Amino acid sequence: MQFIYPAFLFALLSLAIPLIIHLFHFRRYQKVYFSNVQFLKNIQQKQSSRKNLKRRLILASRILALAFLILGFAKLYIPSSRSVNLDKQHVVSIFIDNSYSMETVNREGSLLDEARRRAKEIAAGYGLNDRFQLLTQEFEGRQQRLLSRDEFTDEVDKIKISPQSRNLEQIIQRQQSLLSTQGNALRDVYILSDFQKNLLAGHPVKTDSSISVSLIKLKANSLPNVTVDSVWLLSAVHRAGESEKLVVRLHNYADEKAEKIPLKLMVNNIQKALGSFTIDARSVQNDTLTFSGLQEGWQNSEIQLQDNPVNFDNEFYFAFKVQQQMPLLLIDGGQPNKYLSAVFNADSFFKPTWAHNGNVDYTGLLNYPFVVLTDVKAVSTGLAQQLKIYVSKGGTLAVFPADGADLSTYQALLLPMGVNAPEALVTEKNKVVALNVQSKVFKNTFEQLPQNPDLPLVNKYYRLGSKAFGASESLLELPGHQPFFVNYSSGKGKVYLSAVPLADDYSNLPHHALFVPLMFRMALLSGRDQPLYYTIGQDESVETSPVQASDKQLVKLVKGQQTILPDVRQQEGSTVLYFSDQVNQPGNYQLKSQDTVTACIAFNNNRSESDLTYLDDNTLKTEIPGVRTTVFQAGPQSLKDTVAKANMGLELWKLCIILSLICLAAEILLIRFYQPDKPDVTIPA
């Protein structure tokens, strides 16, 4: 046993005071008139022995009461393994999970309320000179500092629900980054959370062996939950007045089937579709909503799901743009190709722009979702570099080599993009023998494909190489699986490559019935809109079409009364907006340059919080395999005593105070009820 304040033991000298009082207990003798002294000697002997016993018992009780009181003030305790360093300062990092799942209610109220209370109990278990870090899901810069106990308590009361969601590895590394700077102080880590399965980092978390890690599990009630995980539109290009199909991905996280879940689609605050769906337990299901009647411009859309009691993920926001016309860029060698002109001028939806290969506006390339390169004999180095950037950022490029093309310049254009380039001219006649009807380009193009379809005839063509590393898909093939028209994926974009120019002496492709649907489908599939939505906490930057920004012309993100000023950085052909942690509410936002709306951007909560299943103790121990890792189940008892016992040992000062009070009570009882002066012998008068 040891003492926290051993200096109080000097007060044991005060035990001599009751001893002195009892040893020198002088009293004035009283005269007692006794008529018969026959039995006086016998009575005096009996009373004297009883008085001595009473006095000794009172002396013992007073000495023990004073001794236990002194031991209590000296803070008597049985030391633990950590109590040898009581003279050192403790630096404590406490993480409070304030993600959406902490809104779940248990007997103590919401889990976040219980986490706040538990954090205060932990702080109360440390000394006044110890320092604390308060960390939440936001990982704010101001949380990378140490607080006194009173400051820590004040900050705990300010914690609110956050859309952020971090895993265990990120949390512990953030805590260790501050604690590692604290020298020889004793370092402790506490994590208060419901410990959803989404906290798993996918591999064991490495921890500093000198840091004690305590995981405080807050028990939540198991609740069913259905949510919209994601959505996507089947059409790459959205035309005014045409029908649209929206695929909604629903996820049931409950162990029971969810029946007749109502779903509603709102576009610009107008209801466009309504449905009701049934989803099996622990399953994912895709459903399609069809709607129409869209006008030109940005469409702020929302999926509304009725699913109680968990409702933080009942809305899903997305935004897209409906176009009146689709711009196309046709790059030629000096003379517009008559076949391309005939195709794209036949439909008013397409708005083609012709440009000579030496007079291309590189800054505006990303404004065109589809670029066609045709009849260019030699591709310049500058054009090749800009087209590579265009494709890497999501553009679609179709290449028809020219008659008498300089093949080395085409190789310099295509090979860096992972696309096979023309290697040599083959002058033998041939015929296309295979049509890939499973490709997106030709899928749903034919009502019924004949047994022997009429495919293009070829007089001569360029043999395409096989050195490219990019993923490819043959649309049309010559005998021997020789590619004739190929689709390549490159970066975020696509490249279509033809083995023949658009010229009559090479093939009859420009006159063939396949040519028009081929060009239309390539153009319509090239829609390069921004993503339908972004996720709060994951997507901290957004890339848009070029937006001009200056000191007088600010770019801002607006939602109702909320205004966000992003960090604007210009890149080649695009603008990147950095929001950091400014976006913390889901919804549809308008991107404005001055008062002009340049884009609509949708943000949603992280759906990882929707899975309300939790980790067990064994899994947590496996996730953090340190020898100093402890898992606590938050129960009815206070964590203050648990923390104090872990840091110091078993404190006995309370027991000493109780024993001191018992001794004082014994003294009172002895004085009041133990009467040795009362004679046991009855003397006749």
Q: Which of 537, 668, 557, 548 is nearest to 608 (CA)?
A: 537
* 638 CB-near residues (< 8 Å, 6+ apart): 121
**Number of C-beta neighbours around residue 249 at 10 A:** 16
For residue 232, count CB atoms less than 10 angstroms from its CB and return exposed for 0-12, middle for 13-18, buried for 19 or more. Answer: middle
CA atoms within 13 A on the CB side of 236: 17
Distance set, CA 662 to CA 62, 65, 77, 390 (Å): 10, 8, 20, 87
What distance in Å separates the CA atoms of residue 566 and residue 579, rounded to the nearest whole number?
5
Return the pLDDT at 31: 63
Q: Read out DSSP for 525-585?
A: TT--PPPS-EETTT--EEEES-----SSS-EEEEETTEEE-PEEEEETTEEEEE-TT---S
Find out whether 631 and 218 touch, Cβ atoms under 8 Å: no
* Cβ neighbour number for residue 246 with a 10 Å cutoff: 23
DSSP 614: B
pLDDT computed for residue 289 by the predictor: 93
By DSSP bridging, strand 396-400 and strand 326-332 are: unpaired
Give the pair of three-digit tokens for residue 434. 């295979």
Residue carrying structure tokens 């009364």? 561
Name the more confident of 547 and 507. Answer: 507
Residues 6+ apart with CB under 8 A from 297: 321, 322
Least confident residue range of 156-165, 199-208, 675-684: 675-684
Please tell me the least confidently modeled range out of 191-195, 388-392, 636-640, 679-683.
679-683
Residue 37: its pLDDT value, please?
Answer: 59
Q: What is the pLDDT of residues 568-623, one digit of tens each?
A: 988 876 789 998 888 989 999 999 988 889 999 999 998 888 888 888 888 888 88
- 3 state SS of 432: coil
Annotate 451-510 with three-state secondary structure: CCCCCCEECCEEEECCCCCCCEEEEEEEHHHEEEEEEEEECCEEEEEECCCCCCCCECHH
Tell me the mean pLDDT in the region 485-492.
92
**In percent, how much of the chain has pLDDT > 90?**
47
Name 171's Cβ contacts closer than 8 Å, sequence gap at least 6. Answer: 95, 135, 191
- For 140, the 3-state DSSP assignment is coil
Which tens digit of pLDDT belongs to each residue from 359-389?
999 888 888 999 999 999 999 999 999 999 9
Residue with the two structure tokens 């002109």: 341
DSSP SS3 for 138: coil
Mean pLDDT of all residues in 548-562 = 84
Q: 428-483: per-residue pLDDT in tens?
A: 999 999 999 889 898 777 777 777 788 999 999 999 987 767 788 999 999 988 99
Span 261-277, mean pLDDT? 93
d(CA 70, CA 405): 102
Closest CA to 147 of 161, 157, 132: 132
* 305 in Cβ contact with 278 (< 8 Å): no
Looking at the predicted structure, is the pLDDT value of residue 58 above 90?
no
Average pLDDT value over all residues in the chain? 86
The pLDDT assigned to 685 comes to 45
- Tell me which DSSP letter residue 517 carries: H
Report pTM: 0.74
pLDDT for 32 beyond 80: no
β-pair type (90-96, 422-426): unpaired
Question: Residue 43's pLDDT is what?
Answer: 53
For residues 392-419, give the mean pLDDT. 93
Is residue 171 pLDDT above 90, yes or no?
Answer: yes
Residue 410 pLDDT > 50, yes or no?
Answer: yes
Q: Which tens digits make up the pLDDT trace of 180-232? A: 888 888 899 999 999 998 888 778 888 888 888 899 999 877 788 899 999 99
Which of 1-10, 86-95, 219-228, 597-606 has the lowest average pLDDT? Answer: 1-10
Q: Among 57-61, 316-320, 383-387, 569-573, which is the least confidently predicted range? A: 569-573
Report, as an integer, the average pLDDT of 481-491: 92
Answer yes or no: are the C-beta atoms of 553 and 521 closer than 8 Å.
Answer: no
Neighbour-count burial for 604-641, b at 16+ CB within 10 Å, e otherwise: bbbbbbbbbebbeeeebeebbebeebbbbebeeebbbe
pLDDT recorded at residue 280: 92
Indicate if the alpha-carbon torsion angle 523, 528, 367, 324 is positive or negative: positive
Inter-residue contact 222 to 121 (CB < 8 Å): no
Structure tokens given for 133: 């870090």
The per-residue pLDDT for range 493-545, each reduced to its tens digit, is: 999 999 999 999 999 999 999 999 999 999 988 876 688 999 998 888 898 88
Q: Do the beta carbons of residue 95 and residue 136 sit within 8 Å?
A: yes
